[in-house]
Every structure is written in C-alpha cells, then in structure tokens.
Amino acid sequence: MNLGHMDRYAKSLMKEAGHKIRISFFKQIDIDSKADANDLVTNIDREVEQFFISRIQRDFPEHKILGEEGFGDDIQTLDGVIWMLDPIDGTMNFVHQKRNFAISLGIYVDGVGMLGYIYDVMREDFYSAAKGEGAYLNDERLPQLEITPLEQAVIGISASWIAPNRFVDNEKMIELVQRCRGTRSYGSAAIELAYVAAGRIDAYISMRLSPWDIAGGMVIAQEVGAVTTNMKGQAPHLLGQEPFIVARPGLHHDILTNYIRLKE
C-alpha cells in the first residue's frame, strides 16, 4: 500500500470537493431532515458524498467507504482500508450560516488511523496529518500541545450537555463550565477537533458522535499529542455512536475523572 500516493490523492479530492461546495451556494440547496426536525441534510451533502465514493471506488476498488449519508459500504468490522467520510460536518451551519462547516475524512487501515483531513471549506483552512509524521494547517506544521490547567482552558462544549440530558450528570458539567476559563461551541465536531489540534481550544466534549465526525480529526489531534477517547477513557470503537472527548494531555484526565459522570 502506497500511503504517500493515497495522501496526495485524498488531498486533491478534498480540495475538489471543497470547490464544489463553495459553488453550490450559487445553485438550489434542498433541505431535508433525518432523525428529527433539527437533524438536517441537503442535496449537497449527498452529492459530495457520492462524488467521493465514485472516485474512491474507481481508483481504489479494494478499499471500503463509511459515509454519513449511507452511499458507501455497510461496515461491520474495521478490517482492511476504510475511508471514513463526513461530506459536510456542520450541516446546520452550512444551511444557516454558509460557513463554519468542514469536510472530514479519515483513512484507517485495520482500525488504525493512518491519514486524516479536515477542510474548513469557506476559510480554506486545510488540516492534515499522516500517522507519525506530524499535523499541518495548510503548509505549516502544528506544534505539540503543552499542558494547560483547567483554570486556563477554553473548552468546546454544546449547551445541550449543560442542560439536563439523558447521557451525563449535568450538575458536574455546570461545575466544569464554572471552573474553566471559558467555553465555545462551533457546531462542527470536525472543526472543534481541528481547533484543539491547533491550540485554539483546549478540549472538546460531546456525548454523541459518529465515526465520520471524529475519524479524520483524531489522526490530526493525536499527532500534536492530544488525547482522544470515549468517556470511559478507551479508544473510540468507530463502529457506532459514542460519547467523545479530545483534550490536551493532563486536562483530558482531569475532565474525565473529575467532571464526567455518565448516566448508563
């Protein structure tokens, strides 16, 4: 397997898809909902996923594809090469704001993340990493993350997890919000992972993420020393939805042991 070739190929595919999304604002965008009225999907999410899949199937026929919109393969195990794709992460932002969304792609070999990409399409910020070779924002290498105490940390978290919810003890989350320096919520898990990797926020927490939300970002974040786990401190299993945390080392342990109380 030629990872260098796959890396160049994936980067150019991401850029081409980003261009398609930018010009989509000049044509009709049809908005549907999926699991509930606020779970949005558009014709552009579907078209971009189909674009990736047709290219990958043509040029890497032995690889499998896990895509959010369901045009890829039915993935039951992580064996072999799997491209994990979210064609638009942050569809609500895509629809409402026309910014703050990203294409997210992770390429995994037998369950190990080898290549990761997040493309913040409107800012044209391209985050990428190859396992063991560091992470980049465009052409600049991202530095290793240093330890930051909670009192100086900015945490990416949605208000959903501070309000009473079925996943986690929200009183402990209130405590977390009160102790940290500040909170942010960008509405795209991929962008929040990229921001942790770039040192713009210090942690990101969500109680319900899917493999395509985190696959690309995990490769990038790990390259700068961020810790990426589920809320039990284990590696995410990448075969279904799970609670997820990415944070600087030290801070990850502090948040997990002192503030996260799962309900189940």
216 touches ligand IPD (CB under 6 A): no
Q: Quick one: what does residue 227 bind among ligand IPD, Ca ion, none, with the CB cut-off 5 to 8 Å set by partner type? A: none
CB of 67 to Ca ion, least distance (A): 9
Report the SS3 class of residue 21: helix
Decide if 3 contacts 114 (C-beta within 8 A). Answer: yes
* Residue in 149, 187, 225, 250 binding ligand IPD, rule: CB under 6 A: 187
Among 23-31, 166-174, 183-191, 230-238, the segment contacting ligand IPD (CB under 6 A): 183-191
Size of the site for Ca ion (CB under 5 A): 5
DSSP symbol at 80? S
Of 100, 135, 109, 159, nearest to 219 by C-alpha is 135
Calpha distance 55→85 (Å, rounded):
13
Amino acid, res. 19: H
Decide if 105 contacts 117 (C-beta within 8 A). Answer: yes
Structure tokens that stand for 40 in this block = 């949005």
* Residue in 20, 63, 131, 208 binding ligand IPD, rule: CB under 6 A: 208
Q: What x-and-dash track marks residues 46-85 binding ligand IPD by CB under 6 A?
A: ----------------------x-----------------
* Residue in 24, 148, 183, 206 binding ligand IPD, rule: CB under 6 A: 206
Please, which of residues 83-142 interact with ligand IPD by CB under 6 A? Answer: 86, 89-92
**105 vs 224, beta carbon nearer Ca ion:** 105
Of 146, 170, 175, 173, nearest to 249 by C-alpha is 146
Decide if 42 contacts 94 (C-beta within 8 A). Answer: yes
**49 vs 202, beta carbon nearer Ca ion:** 49
Of 137, 133, 128, nearest to 106 by C-alpha is 128
Among 29-37, 151-159, 208-216, 230-238, the segment contacting Ca ion (CB under 5 A): 208-216
Among 8-16, 136-144, 169-177, 206-214, the segment contacting ligand IPD (CB under 6 A): 206-214
223 touches ligand IPD (CB under 6 A): no
Calpha distance 23→142 (Å, rounded):
30
Calpha distance 79→189 (Å, rounded):
25
CB of 89 to Ca ion, least distance (A): 4
Residues making contact with Ca ion (CB under 5 A) = 68, 86, 88-89, 213
